[in-house]
Structure 1
Amino acid sequence: MPSAASDAARAPRIHCPQALAPGTALDLPPGAARHVQVLRLQPGAPVILFDGRGGEWRAVVQHMGRSDVQVRLESHDPIEREARRAVHLAVGMPANERMDWLVEKATELGAASIQPLLAQRSVVRLAGERAARRQAHWQGVAVAACEQCGRNRVPVVHEPQEFGSWLRALGDAPATGGERWVLSLDAGAGCAAPGQDGSEPLTLLSGPEGGLAPAEEAAARASGFRPLSLGARVLRAETAPLVALARWAQ
């Protein structure tokens, strides 16, 4: 017969953004409840819950109603699957559905946070309520990616900001600490790069289609961003930051 451990390994992972405690019965919030209902789980089925505060919880479905689902929390596993180095990604938003794909893959690759930017060459222009809706959508994409890939801490997807405003608010020293790098197509970017084995945080800035405008890159460099080249080939706006994450979010 399958062991409890093997059952847990096959159990669906569900984000439940509320404080969890062992031995308690919990009515899942609407989003998590819908997830369980879509999977057609029955009472007695194992699930894994994570609240974003670290580790994950083994739980069992107790009740499945028409609009409500109750689970019983059993035990907490303090396992972490985060990168040793926190990499904060600031990216000029690519057009169409490419930003969804970028958020999903950046989450899988371990981004600690994602800051969408409206740069001079950005095709997408967002503000007000529309920007807030897109932020909520992208945060949901990040949650779903965490459920799939095994992360227990959901990266924050910030509300889109205009590039200049974001850079001014960043100031001389980023709140995240660590190094600042801007992905650059400048032939003079040189071979400097973050160390592969480092553990201090990085802020990686990447432009939209066509890259950052020269004045924007110059402003970033004046704010402490060092130019970083990813090689001789020109990568797409949604590809370049993922290559950098795969290399430095270890």
Structure 2
Amino acid sequence: MELFYLPSAPADLAPSSPIEIDGAEFHHLARVLRKRAGEHITVTDGRGQRLEVEIREVGKHSMEGVVLERSVLEPPSTSVTVAMSLLKAPARFDFFLEKAAELGVSGVIPMITRRTVSQPSRERMGARMERWRSIMLSASRQCGRFHLPELHEPLAFGEAVRLDGYDLRLIPYEASAEPPEADFAGKKVLFLIGPEGGFSPEEVDEARSAGLQEISFGRTILRAESAGVFAAALVRARLLDGPPGRWL
């Protein structure tokens, strides 16, 4: 299924309503896929709205269409947010973002820890955030997600451990022997994933003091980006035994 994102789409669109797509989505639609007038496409605002649209006109900079059908998909009852340390190799962080979006995470928080090597300036961070959003959007389009994951502003480790509003807050740690036995279904889950070299013992102590639950991802030590992907895949795999409404 080819899916196009229009975050600015009004929430109350009805059949026969006009709709316009421009920018990067228009380029993908017209220049890459070469869509033409009369064809039907599926559009979403990234917040659950699903619009079946007939293309009426493809111009030089935008496409005009009309809504044929509208429906709203409820978000999964389980949500996963991963606070991931920035990594020394940018390509590894990019890989994590792509796979996390594919696996259904609801949010990603770039995090700076004691052992985080990559700490870009504010200007460079702004450019990276734009690229990261593009990566997550592309992955979400590829796998047909109607609820886009949120890329949060970067946080220091001390801020991340004090985030509230989650039913489960977990910190995988290579020295831990605690298996991940938590029941994820229907809960808001937060994972904190460390950088190359892992969390420092002081950070683990700080996380424990803040109420985070320490868990193990097995005997072998995973690369940071692999641990982030494993966290999302672990929840997704556990949910497959339950009703679809809980799935990521």
Is 2:133 the counterpart of 1:146? Answer: no
Is 2:114 the counterpart of 1:120? Answer: yes
TM-score (norm 1): 0.86
Given that 2:161 and 2:212 are in contact with CA atoms closer than 8 Å, whether structure 1 keeps it comes out as no
Identity %: 28
Give, in whole Å, the separation in 1 of the partners of 2:179 and 2:143: 32
The equivalent residue for 2:206 is: 219
Given that 1:14 and 1:50 are in contact with CA atoms closer than 8 Å, whether structure 2 keeps it comes out as yes
Aligned partner of 1:185: which letter? E
The answer for unaligned runs of 5 or more in structure 2 is 240-248
Give, in whole Å, the separation in 2 of the partners of 1:111 and 1:180: 15
The equivalent residue for 1:17 is: 7
Secondary structure in 2 matching 1:239 = helix
Give, in whole Å, the separation in 1 of the partners of 2:178 and 2:21: 52
Give, in whole Å, the separation in 2 of the partners of 1:99 and 1:79: 30
Give, in whole Å, the separation in 1 of the partners of 2:189 and 2:161: 15
Is 2:156 the counterpart of 1:162? Answer: yes
CA deviation string 1:125-169 (max 9, x = no partner): 12312112211221221111111111111111112222224335x
The equivalent residue for 2:230 is: 243
Q: 1:192 deviation in Å?
A: 5.0
The size of the alignment, in residue pairs, is 232
TM-score (norm 2): 0.87
The answer for unaligned runs of 5 or more in structure 1 is 1-9
Moved over 3 A (4+): 165-168
The equivalent residue for 2:191 is: 204
Is 2:179 the counterpart of 1:191? Answer: yes
Secondary structure in 1 matching 2:145 = coil
CA RMSD of superposed structures (Å): 1.7
Query: Alpha carbons of 1:178 and 1:131: their partners in 2 closer, same or farther (altered >3 Å)?
Result: same
Give, in whole Å, the separation in 1 of the partners of 2:221 and 2:76: 27
Secondary structure in 2 matching 1:111 = coil
Given that 1:135 and 1:160 are in contact with CA atoms closer than 8 Å, whether structure 2 keeps it comes out as no
